[in-house]
Amino acid sequence: MVFNSYTFVAFFAIMLLLHNLPISWRAKKINLLIASYLFYAAWNPPFILLLWLSTVVDFFVGRALYTQPNIHKRRLLLVISLIGNLGMLCFFKYGGFILENFVHLTNLLGIDFHPAKPSIILPAGISFYTFTTLCYTIDMYKKKSEPVKSMLDFALFVTFFPHLVAGPIVRPPQLVPQFETPRKATKQQLLDGLMLLTLGLFMKVVCADTLLSATADTVFGAGRPMGPLDAWAGVLAFSGQIFFDFAGYSISAIGVALCLGFILPQNFLCPYGAVGFSDFWRRWHITLSLWLRDYLYIPLGGNRKGKFRTYINLMITMLIGGLWHGANWTFVAWGGLHGLYLWIEKAIRDSRSKVSNVPSEDVPKPFIATASFGPPLIGKKSASFVYALLTFILVCITWVFFRSTTFSGAGLLLASMAGRLAPAGPPLLLTMDIIKVFVVIGIMLIVHWSMRNTTFLKTVVKMPWWAVSVVWAGMLILIILSQGTSKAFIYFQF
């Protein structure tokens, strides 16, 4: 079931009705849990067993990790949890990828090995709920918080349908306490939630699917040299498509939860208004960035073991972050490019700190998703805007690897963007399609820059009621008119 469907509209209306009935809080939580399983079962009902297994195992292992005094037994329990969760993730998401690369390796060694290709179906959202349960068991091992007392609350924490399939990635302290006491949306929360849901669907259905996806699909699927204008239009279209698609889902999820009285963490904050790449990762997929920081980068040593280890830890984190997105080496290259950008940015900051004799402990931390990166590399506002544009262009280059399925396809498109190849045939795109992309992306960049220090709801509060009504009505009308062109959310495959 997807947010951009009439089935979900009916499902959500029923959930709002049930959640506001005069029944016990426990009954409402059971309703939410059943609804969450039904929401997930709409993709493939048997995979509910995986979700249920992960929930049950981590609930009891997490409790044992917190109460077990023997350090060796605690480590064993943690290993069991890691093997269980990461084992399922590796089998379903990376099983075919691992086998394919093993076959290539054996063939290079002169061994003729050609096994049958496995037919593995990827469970929807397995990357997201795996990270959700992993952070619980790791926190229990480190005793950062107390174990969840109720199996019902823990199961609801894992499966709560707004965030289940594509995030935001939540942690127990962010959501479990909200299940412990009765929750019901206030009138303002309901209005804000419906407004966010409308905005998220507008971003997905109208902006991503109707205005940009066709151009991106045409360019990335061409498989031949093209003119620089066509190539750049396709890449810019995808840069907008993936933002509107993924941020649209996150905003919809936050809005749906808010309508029920629950608060989910922010996942995007105008990322294309970022001044630099550390700033970009503070704004893009925030909950994943924080997860990678707290459960991978810092355990690797962070920036506590010297500059060389800091660079290595940073690159490892970005490479794994790239692989998390998909079982393909192009995703690893995407993460590696971002790691390289962060390396260069850190080197510039370090060199400037030496020139200005700033003590090393006062230098902004080099990793992603922190709120204290210090001032941008360029101080003046106009210069910062130019640097933000440069950041956006370089991020767009990384999207080439993210969207391409092969390195040859990525190389062909990059060469076309640079004008190094003669177009093989007539232009791919119509003039109006190119104009449409540049207008949409231009407006997006202006909005991101102007709203980089605020949020949508804070902006709405400052608007007159009639203006809000016109904008809201306009979005609803465009969503309805564009519904036939809508597709599944991109991040469902991750």
Residues classed as catalytic: 325
Phi, psi at 428, each rounded to 5° = -75, -40
Of 133, 151, 368, which is closest to residue 274 (Cα–Cα)?
A: 368
DSSP 156-205: HHHH-HHHHTT-----HHHHHHHHHS-----HHHHHHHHHHHHHHHIIII
> What tokens were used for 362?
């006062």
Dist. CA 180–CA 175, nearest whole Å: 9
Dist. CA 341–CA 440, nearest whole Å: 26
Dist. CA 172–CA 170, nearest whole Å: 7
The distance of Cα 460 from the centroid of its chain, to the nearest Å, equals 25
> What tokens were used for 14?
């029923």
Give the Cα-Cα-Cα angle 137, 139, 140 (nearest 5 degrees): 60
Dist. CA 401–CA 397, nearest whole Å: 8
Name the CA radius of gyration of the chain, rounded: 23
Question: What DSSP character marks residue 398?
Answer: H
Question: Cβ atoms within 10 A of the Cβ of 11, count?
Answer: 18
> What tokens were used for 395?
């991020």
> What tokens were used for 37?
């399983």
Dist. CA 158–CA 130, nearest whole Å: 9
- Buried b or exposed e, range 125-164, using 16+ CB within 10 angstroms: bbbbbbbbbbbbbbbbbeeeeebbeeeebbbbbbbbbbbb
Dist. CA 396–CA 408, nearest whole Å: 18
Question: Cβ atoms within 10 A of the Cβ of 439, count?
Answer: 11
The distance of Cα 4 from the centroid of its chain, to the nearest Å, equals 18
Specify whether the backbone of 301 is left (phi greater than 0), alpha (psi in -120 to 50) or beta.
Answer: left
Question: What is the residue type of 210?
Answer: T
First to last CA, the chain: 16
